[in-house]
């Protein structure tokens, strides 16, 4: 499932491509993906111009001239493609937005959604999200403060969107590996030194993942060489059985309440 770096990659690339463009047509092939009647969805969107592409946690926000916002969550299996009728992918798109020639295709949106909201509705929807790890206000002391109230397991806490938003299965493991801390540790047992390492690993791993375009592989457009560049740079995620890049011992894959966990039990403590 795409996390903060994947959605930030999409945000940056789409900001350059769709801002200022007017939607000329919509096509909804799966009504459950949207929140309105397709005719109403089309009526509000056609003729409307995109003024800003923003991101909040794992959501992408397309701000429109009318004041409406398209809120996208890709969940599991969703991805985007920006191209023309000639170079589109040979797969069904649940929703398409045309901007004259270029078209934005929303693929794999079975669990994911694209909802058209007013500003008030958007605030309500995003209200319960925790702080963003890369926000300037999210300092080491804020992180320490937030951990003080927690009793649970580190991994489960890191992926809790109400506590901290944007991190999921992949980056929680990558952050713990970088900090040399086991994701299965209990939070009250973490030392101040370990909390500090976690904080700086979080900053480092997320920024590096954004720099390399996240781990989701399908390119956003033809000749897109950025998206998915971090996939080969994951140190533990999806590398069960492969040698640890730090110590050479095999990466262990385990399960923590239905979530996959990847860690090196030799050099993470």
| Catalytic pick among 5, 6, 11, 58 | 58
Q: Which of 80, 96, 87, 76 is nearest to 9 (CA)?
A: 80
Q: Is 259 labeled as catalytic in the residue annotation?
A: yes
CB of 178 to Zn ion, least distance (A): 12
Q: Is 193 labeled as catalytic in the residue annotation?
A: no
CB of 144 to Zn ion, least distance (A): 26
Give the Cα separation of 54 and 265 in Å (integer). Answer: 38
**Nearest residue (CB) to Zn ion, 126 versus 252:** 252
Cβ count within 10 A of residue 212: 18
**Nearest residue (CB) to Zn ion, 177 versus 212:** 177
Name the one residue in this structure whose structure tokens are 């590996």.
Answer: 177
Q: Is 2 labeled as catalytic in the residue annotation?
A: yes
CB of 236 to Zn ion, least distance (A): 9
**Nearest residue (CB) to Zn ion, 125 versus 235:** 235
Q: What angle, rounded to 10 degrees, do the helices at 169-179 and 192-211 form? A: 120
Residue ranges in contact with Zn ion by CB under 5 A: 244, 246-247, 264, 266-267
| Catalytic pick among 125, 196, 246, 259 | 259
Q: Is 253 exposed, middle or buried (0-12, 13-18, 19+ CB in 10 A)?
A: middle
Q: Is 12 labeled as catalytic in the residue annotation?
A: no
Catalogue the active-site residues: 2-3, 58, 259
């Amino acid at each position: 499932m795409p996390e903060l770096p994947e959605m930030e990659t999409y945000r940056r690339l789409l900001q350059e491509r769709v801002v200022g463009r007017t939607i000329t047509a919509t096509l909804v092939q799966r009504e459950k993906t949207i929140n309105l009647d397709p005719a109403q969805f089309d009526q509000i969107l056609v003729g409307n111009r995109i003024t800003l592409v923003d991101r909040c946690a794992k959501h992408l926000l397309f701000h429109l001239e009318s004041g409406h916002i398209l809120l996208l969550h890709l969940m599991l299996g969703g991805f985007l493609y920006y191209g023309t009728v000639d170079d589109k992918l040979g797969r069904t798109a649940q929703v398409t937005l045309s901007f004259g020639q270029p078209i934005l295709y929303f693929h794999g949106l079975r669990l994911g959604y694209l909802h058209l909201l007013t500003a008030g509705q958007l605030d309500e929807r995003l209200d319960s999200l925790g702080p963003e790890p890369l926000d300037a206000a999210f300092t080491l002391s804020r992180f320490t403060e937030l951990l003080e109230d927690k009793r649970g397991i580190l991994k489960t806490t890191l992926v809790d969107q109400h506590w901290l938003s944007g991190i999921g299965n992949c980056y929680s493991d990558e952050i713990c590996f970088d900090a040399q801390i086991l994701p299965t540790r209990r939070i009250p047992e973490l030392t101040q030194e370990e909390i500090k390492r976690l904080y700086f690993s979080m900053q480092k791993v997320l920024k590096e993942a954004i720099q390399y375009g996240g781990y989701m592989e399908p390119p956003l457009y033809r000749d897109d060489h950025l998206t998915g560049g971090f996939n080969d740079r994951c140190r533990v995620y999806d590398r069960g059985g492969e040698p640890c890049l730090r110590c050479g011992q095999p990466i262990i894959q385990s399960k923590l309440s239905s979530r996959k966990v990847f860690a090196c039990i030799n050099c993470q403590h």
